[in-house]
Amino acid sequence: MKTTLLALALVFLSTLTAADEPEAVLDTSGNRLDNNRRYYILSATDCSCNETGIALAVLGNKKCPFDVYVQCEAQKFYIMPSNYFQTNDVQVSTFVNIVHSATRCEPVHWVNLWKVDQNDPDTGKAFVTTEGTVDKPLPRGNQGFKIEKYGSNYKIVYSDTQCRDIGIYFDKEGNRRLVLGDVPYPVKFQKV
């Protein structure tokens, strides 16, 4: 009887501990995302090209910052917990920095850290762009990007006063830009 009660108590305690542990974000191979590695952020639904995914480009007639958009060839990003000095694992529902691995906007400085721009005056949309670097991050407070589970895939959300999905907006040139929206863009992460 004592053995049975002890066994039940241990099972109960182990389920409580497991429930308190944050869920890790997994790559396409089932491994935990590690902030020391680079990943392609791929579309989980769009198969119009082999490697449809997230990339950076200067769109329109400006020089900087870069805009974040979807193209047929994904580029490499680091996905780092905001507290990346304390942990290597990227976990669901925690703030992350999303950083392009090697893009430079000449002649300025490195501008590869994702941010949400103010509403565009022409479209009224808040686009995802870049500014700053991890060693000089933007002031954040209680806002930033998070990765959330979305079915068997993931979605990226932006949290400030509320959590909003990062979705796709087709601009007048046909570019598929990342934007704050109501319809999420499902993604998966593939190790480079």
Domain 24-191 has CATH 2.80.10.50: yes
Whole-prediction pTM? 0.80
111 vs 192 pLDDT, higher one: 192
Give dist(CA 47, CA 80) in Å, integer: 27
Mean pLDDT (the chain, rounded): 78
Q: ω into residue 137 within 30 of 0, thus cis?
A: no
- Burial class of residue 37 in the structure, from the number of CB atoms within 10 Å of its CB (0-12 exposed, 13-18 middle, 19+ buried): middle
Percentage with pLDDT > 70 across the chain: 70
Q: Residue 8 — very low, low, confident or very high, per pLDDT cuts 50/70/90?
A: very low
Contact 163, 156 (CB under 8 A): no
Average of pLDDT values for 56-80?
77
Question: Token pair for residue 179?
Answer: 């934007």
32 vs 7 pLDDT, higher one: 32
Q: Which strand (E) or helix (H) includes residue 8?
A: helix 2-20
- Burial class of residue 26 in the structure, from the number of CB atoms within 10 Å of its CB (0-12 exposed, 13-18 middle, 19+ buried): middle
Contact 107, 51 (CB under 8 A): no
Question: Which positions ≥6 away from 85 have C-beta within 8 Å?
Answer: none
Q: Is the confidence at residue 13, as pLDDT, over 60?
A: no
